[in-house]
Amino acid sequence: MTHDWSGGLTSISDLDRTDVLKLFKLVDNCIKGKYEKIGLGRVIGLLFFEPSTRTRLSFEVAAHKIGAYPLVVHDPSTLSISKGESMEDTLRILGNYCDILILRHKDPKTIRKAIRYAGVPVINAGSGSVEHPTQSLIDIYTVYKFRGNPDGLTFGIMGDLKHSRAVHSLIMLLTKFDNVKLKLISPKGLELDEPFRKSIESEIVLEEISDIRSIISELDVLYIVRLQKERFKENYEKYISSYSISPEILKKCKEDLLILAPLPRTWELPPSIDSLPQAKYFQQASFGVPVRMAILISILRAL
C-alpha cells in the first residue's frame, strides 16, 4: 500500500520501496529546479527541542524554496512550557498556526503526542535514539545518486549503533531493498540493542564485525556515526576514540566505495579523509534540501 502523505512522515516504516523511489524522482526534479511553489500561503512549523544544524536549516531552506513560510521556534526555553504549559497544549497551539509541524524531541513519545494533538501532518525530525526517517531518505538518496538502487549492495555501518537514531532508520529503510548485506562494526557495549536487532534479523542479512580492516575491501558503502554521548545514562568517556576510520584503513577499500555520515562528526571521521574520492558526506548533506523539499511537496499535495 502506498503511503498516505497527508499524515506526514513519522516513521520510515510507513514507506515502502515504491514510495521511496517515487519520492526520489521528485527529489531529482527539485534538484533540476522543476517543482511547483505549492507552499505559497502555507506555514511550516519547526519545533526542535534538541540541537540541530542540518535538519533544521535544510527544512527551513526547503520551506522557503517551495514558497512556504517557516515558523521557527529558535529557542524552546522561551516557550510557555517554562511557565508550566503542557506539551499537549503547546502542540495544539503550534498546530493552529501551521500546516505541517516538524518536530525533534529527545522523548520518542512526543511524536505520538504531536500526531494526536497538533491536528496537522507531523514530520519526525529525530525522536530520541529511536528514529530519524528524513535522514535515512537522504542517506539512501545519496546511494541512489551514485550507485542506483541499493539492491545487492554491502553496507558497513560503524560506530555507536546502540544510540544512533540515524542508524536505526537507515537499517529499517534498507530492509525494504533486496539482497542488501549489513556488516555492523561497533565497540563492545555500543552494538544494536537486542530487541531492535531481533526485529530486523529476519528481513536482512547481517553480521557483527569487531575489526573493520577484515571487511573493508567488501564494502560498497561505509556509514559512520559519532558517539551519541548525550544519550548515555552511564559514563561515555571510556568510548571516546574507541573507533575511527583513517586513510590507512581505507587503502584496501573499493575504488567506488561511498563513505557516508549523517554528521556531525567528531574523532571517528577525521578531516584527513575529506579529500579522498570516496568521501561523499558533504554532498550527502547537500541533498538535505531537495530531499526535504520533496517530502514537504508530497505532504502538501496530499492535503
Q: Return residues touching ligand NCD (CB under 6 A).
A: 54-55, 126, 132, 135, 165-166, 225-226, 228, 262-264
DSSP H/E element including 126: strand 122-127
By beta carbon distance, the residue nearest ligand NCD is 262
What is the spatial distance between Cα 130 and Cα 106, in angstroms, rounded to a whole number? 9
- Provide, rounded to whole angstroms, the least separation between the CB of residue 268 and ligand NCD: 10
For the chain, the maximum distance between any two Cα atoms, rounded to a whole number of angstroms, is 57
What is the spatial distance between Cα 119 and Cα 211, in angstroms, rounded to a whole number? 48
User: In which residue are the cell numbers 537486542 written?
Assistant: 194
- Provide, rounded to whole angstroms, the least separation between the CB of residue 295 and ligand NCD: 14
**Can you tell me whether residue 46 is helix, strand or coil?**
strand
**Can you tell me whether residue 177 is helix, strand or coil?**
coil
Cβ proximity to ligand NCD, 142 vs 228, nearer residue? 228
Q: In one letter, which amino acid is 241?
A: S
> CB of 126 within 8 A of CB of 6?
no
- Provide, rounded to whole angstroms, the least separation between the CB of residue 55 and ligand NCD: 4
Cβ proximity to ligand NCD, 132 vs 292, nearer residue? 132
- Provide, rounded to whole angstroms, the least separation between the CB of residue 12 and ligand NCD: 13
User: In which residue are the cell numbers 534538484 written?
Assistant: 31
- Provide, rounded to whole angstroms, the least separation between the CB of residue 197 and ligand NCD: 19
Cβ proximity to ligand NCD, 55 vs 90, nearer residue? 55
Cβ proximity to ligand NCD, 90 vs 228, nearer residue? 228
Cβ proximity to ligand NCD, 42 vs 168, nearer residue? 168
User: In which residue are the cell numbers 524554496 written?
Assistant: 65
